[in-house]
Structure 1
């Protein structure tokens, strides 16, 4: 039994990938993916999810507490999806439930549409259709911007984005935890690579396959999100079969604003789908 939030690593192609673990190893596996943040976004609800699932909240290479570093080619949605599949293989997981946030939601949609290994999916304030990249991310597609961005610049931008992602005011300790990975130059470069690789065609092109796959999907959304507007979530439910939407109080990281409501919505969906 993994204690909620216990941090472990798994070797993937010689790179130590970090993940937060929770739950019994015999429970159905649930992979949780992040986007422009890191696995810290899942920490508030892992104790609840671990009651019924074996949880693996992964850090992508070059993010969070993982080793490695992403370049732009390695940071595309399809490339990150392959990294997730390799991590699942290394963990001994064949088929899995999937929950994803932000750009991780684009990766989840790719996996749901193409891998044949996703049993059910949760998208939390996720990119979809042409909802992304938002301007603060899109500007990093310019190599000159990436080259000229200093450590102080990126930390200031991440601080502003994190503070704008919750309705409640994060404590100094919480904010420092969210920002801690970007003290590392490799992680700063990986973040800029993910931003540079952000392209809506990765999600727009998946729509026909998602409609055909019709994997049981719940969208859990902080309704006050300024980055990923809830209108896109409502559109997803209209266009993709077998999907529903649960709106909760909060902004872009609703696990911080409404952890109980988010955990209940995810657990209820997984239980019904299983």
Structure 2
């Protein structure tokens, strides 16, 4: 059984919000949300397997494997029903959980997609991680995470997140690349019946607003919020706008 590293804020008598981050990230991706959401909720941020403080599980993974890790970790904490927010890879896991687990009551999908390009690209990135290391990919990744203006105005913050990426375990990163290579939920969005918020960065080159609008249109009860300026990680670049949208959605 894989129990994921996690951090928790807020008291146990409040509803639980689970936060799932991008590939190459750890719970620091959610620091502004941990502060803001914990006044109204018990907030738990988790590291995917092979990321942050979570154990490395050798070999390829699937999105269903990552979702199972989340549920087993919540079981270990005695948590039944929960609200979930996921960004990028975490958004894929959140989509799967919202469609397949009756324990999910609300969902938020940030800068994510029901399919991230073609599998070959992810297999190539997995191979690069296993051979040259994640650090070799870090500059390109952080350039997609944040808008040019943010990178210029916030060099220390940008460097912190670059180091987060570079410090990710090579096999842990590659395993999650394998999961994204096999991810295609385009025909299953209609299975998601809980209330859904999608959030897009106006300047996101990886998952532009029209992708998130497609998710909102594909689920039973979805709506889109676009933050600007903002690229692939608006939780850091536009925390006030993201926090406001999440708090409003999770209060429904």
* RMSD of Structure 2 on Structure 1 (CA): 2.2
Residue pair 2:201, 2:231 contacting (<8 A) in 1 also? yes
- Is the 2:197–2:222 Cα contact (8 Å) retained in structure 1? yes
TM-score when normalising by structure 2: 0.88
1:155 lines up with 2:135 in the alignment: yes
Task: Give the deviation of 1:125 after TM superposition.
Answer: 0.5
Per the TM alignment, residue 253 of structure 1 is displaced from its structure 2 partner at its CA by 0.3
2:201–2:226: 8 Å Cα contact kept in structure 1? yes
Query: After the TM superposition, which residues 45-194 of structure 1 pair with which residues of structure 2 at under 5 Å, given as runs?
Result: 45-72=33-60, 75-128=61-114, 130-132=115-117, 137-140=122-125, 145=128, 147=130, 149-151=131-133, 154-167=134-147, 168-169=150-151, 170-172=154-156, 174-180=158-164, 182-183=166-167, 187-194=169-176
Q: Distance in 2 between matches of 1:44 and 1:252?
A: 16
**How far does residue 61 in structure 1 lie from its aligned partner after superposition?**
1.8
Preserved contact between residue 225 and residue 251 of structure 1 (Cα < 8 Å):
yes
| Corresponding position of 2:237 | 257
Per the alignment, residue 17 of structure 1 pairs with 4
- How far apart are residue 76 of structure 1 and its match? 0.8
Distance, in Å, in 2 between the alignment partners of 1:229 and 1:134 is 19
Unaligned runs of 5+ in 1: 1-12
Q: How many residues align?
A: 246
SS at match of 1:132: coil
Q: 1:118 to 1:86 in 2, by over 3 A?
A: same
CA deviation after TM superposition for structure 1 residue 136, in Å: 5.8
Q: Tell me how far apart the structure 1 counterparts of residues 14 and 34 of structure 2 sit (CA, whole Å).
A: 14
Give the structure 2 partner of residue 36 of structure 1. Answer: 23
Counterpart secondary structure, 2:70: helix
> Which whole-Å deviations, capped at 9, do the CAs of 1:43-85 have from their partners, x for residues lacking one?
122111111110111001210122233420xx21011111111
Please give the per-residue CA displacement for 1:195-215, whole angstroms capped at 9, x wherever unaligned: 1232365412422422xxx21
Distance 2:231 2:14 in 1: 31
Rounded Cα–Cα distance in structure 1 between residues aligned with 2:132 and 2:140: 15
Describe the shift of the 1:23–1:178 C-alpha distance in structure 2 as closer, same or farther (beyond 3 A): farther
The CA distance in 2 between the partners of 1:201 and 1:164, in whole Å, is 20
Query: Equivalent residue of 1:110, what SS?
Result: helix
Q: Which has the higher strand share?
A: 1
The TM-score normalised by the length of structure 1 is 0.82
